[in-house]
Copies of this chain bind each other. A is one copy, B any other.
Amino acid sequence: MTERLQVYYKIRSDASSIEERARGIAIEQSIEAPLAAIRDPRVLSDIVGEVAAIEDQGGGWFGVRIDLASATVGEDAGQLLNMLFGNSSLYDDVVLDDAVLPAALLRAFGGPRHGAEGLFARAQAEGRALTCSALKPQGLPVEQLADLAFKLALGGLDYIKDDHGLANQSFSPFEDRVRACAAAVRKAAALTGRRIRYVPNLCGDLGQIERQIGVARSEGVDTAMIAPMIAGVSTLQALRQAHPEFAFIAHPAMTGAARVSPYLFARLYRLFGADASIFPNPGGRFGFSQACCGRIVEALCGPLDGLRASLPVPAGGMTLQRVPELLDYYGRRAMLLIGGALLSAPPETLVKETAAFVRAVSEHSYK
């Protein structure tokens, strides 16, 4: 028996046909050919996916575990995604729910370089959660984004990130934006004596992103955001490998939460090297449940063969009023991201509002 990944799907099916459906998906996600076409006995024994368990979950849905050969992944993040859900994503009645990866595969990818602890150390934060806000909206010229960054930095946040809608558009090209925002944050640091990290959003192909990293590094930036399902999961893997001094924050854009569970993406992003991962907190603009977010936190911080933990970054319509509740739930080990709600403050009170957010996090009575 070769080493296997355990992959969990939810399949909508009649009870009478679930076994055949499950076998069909085991074949689709491995050899993708009729068994009659397989003549090599090693392929039959080692490579063909195996239906390991079928469980009736009620309501016409079945939980199915399919075991796939580790060797099919070839240590590439994209190919892992392909093995987990490539063709089966085309079925409208199949959801990719979870996956357990063997230790050798976990070690091959390696997980976060810095992880949650690295982000805390960089921020010199002890005994409290981290704070973050976002530069938005897209469409603002560079000067206005830099002005926002300056004010948010004066307010004392740990991290200030680009909105994930800021790419390399003509209204705020990447290089101009990063130079201006990094300078604005340095200017604030010179006033407050406190270093704050500006986190640009990487976009485009790997070649373009490598040039963006170069610009960012030349401005003293050491943390960047990337949406792996937009840029490609192998791109994150390559960046982790090539830039060990950089920390990466993963954004959940295009993860299609209705078809692939958010906690699986959280674990995969951790595996591929995300030091922190953004996800929608319950009660914001998205419909994630508390239970789902609990599993996301477990995926990011739970034991994973010695891999570093990724820092949970609950977001998506959070407000200052909810800070105590968020901290009671997530504790110290999180970065709270409040974007639009802070920016809704009048410009003249933005620094004060931001400082109130920072204070609420630092003065919270953590349980």
Known contacts A28-B285, A47-B139, A205-B234; 16 further A-B pairs (Cβ under 8 A): A32-B136, A33-B136, A33-B163, A33-B340, A37-B343, A43-B137, A48-B137, A71-B169, A72-B169, A74-B169, A76-B168, A76-B204, A91-B258, A92-B258, A235-B235, A256-B260
User: B232–A231 contact, CB under 8 A?
Assistant: yes
Closest chain B CB from A338 CB (angstroms):
11
Q: Which residues of B contact A72 (CB under 8 A)?
A: 138-139, 165, 167, 169
User: A165–B30 contact, CB under 8 A?
Assistant: yes
Complex: A287 Cα to B90 Cα, angstroms: 8
User: B82–A165 contact, CB under 8 A?
Assistant: yes
For residue A184, CB closer than 8 A to chain B, the reply is: no
Closest chain B CB from A245 CB (angstroms):
19
Complex: A260 Cα to B72 Cα, angstroms: 27
Q: Which residues of B contact A234 (CB under 8 A)?
A: 203-205, 208, 230-232
Size bracket of the A interface: 35 or more
> A81's contact among B168, B254, B255, by CB below 8 Å, is which?
B254
For residue A59, CB closer than 8 A to chain B, the reply is: no
Closest chain B CB from A73 CB (angstroms):
7
User: A167–B79 contact, CB under 8 A?
Assistant: yes
Complex: A103 Cα to B237 Cα, angstroms: 35
Query: Which A residues, 22 to 44, have Cβ-Cβ distances below 8 Å to chain B?
Result: 24, 28, 30-34, 36-40, 42-43
User: A86–B43 contact, CB under 8 A?
Assistant: no
> A34's contact among B43, B46, B344, by CB below 8 Å, is which?
B344
Give the nearest-CB partner of A339 in chain B.
B33
- As a 0/1 sequence over residues 332 to 344 of chain A, the CB contacts with chain B under 8 angstroms (1 = contact) are 0000000111011
Q: What are some 19 contacts across the A-B interface (CB < 8 A)? A: A30-B137, A32-B164, A33-B163, A33-B343, A33-B344, A40-B140, A43-B137, A48-B137, A73-B169, A74-B167, A76-B204, A78-B230, A82-B227, A83-B165, A86-B253, A89-B256, A90-B252, A205-B235, A231-B234
State the oligomeric state as a number of copies: 2
For residue A329, CB closer than 8 A to chain B, the reply is: no
Closest chain B CB from A224 CB (angstroms):
15
For residue A9, CB closer than 8 A to chain B, the reply is: no
* A interface: dominant SS: loop
Closest chain B CB from A26 CB (angstroms):
13
Complex: A42 Cα to B171 Cα, angstroms: 11
For residue A69, CB closer than 8 A to chain B, the reply is: yes
With contacts A37-B343, A165-B30 known, is A254 near B208, CB below 8 A? no
- As a 0/1 sequence over residues 249 to 285 of chain A, the CB contacts with chain B under 8 angstroms (1 = contact) are 0001111111110100000000000000000100001
User: A78–B204 contact, CB under 8 A?
Assistant: yes
User: A170–B71 contact, CB under 8 A?
Assistant: yes
Give the nearest-CB partner of A253 in chain B.
B86
Q: Which residues of B contact A78 (CB under 8 A)?
A: 167, 203-205, 227, 230-231
User: B89–A254 contact, CB under 8 A?
Assistant: yes
Give the nearest-CB partner of A28 in chain B.
B285
Q: Which residues of B contact A164 (CB under 8 A)?
A: 32, 82, 86-87
User: A90–B167 contact, CB under 8 A?
Assistant: no
Q: Which residues of B contact A24 (CB under 8 A)?
A: 285
User: B92–A253 contact, CB under 8 A?
Assistant: no
Give the nearest-CB partner of A230 in chain B.
B78
> A238's contact among B167, B205, B227, B344, by CB below 8 Å, is which?
B205
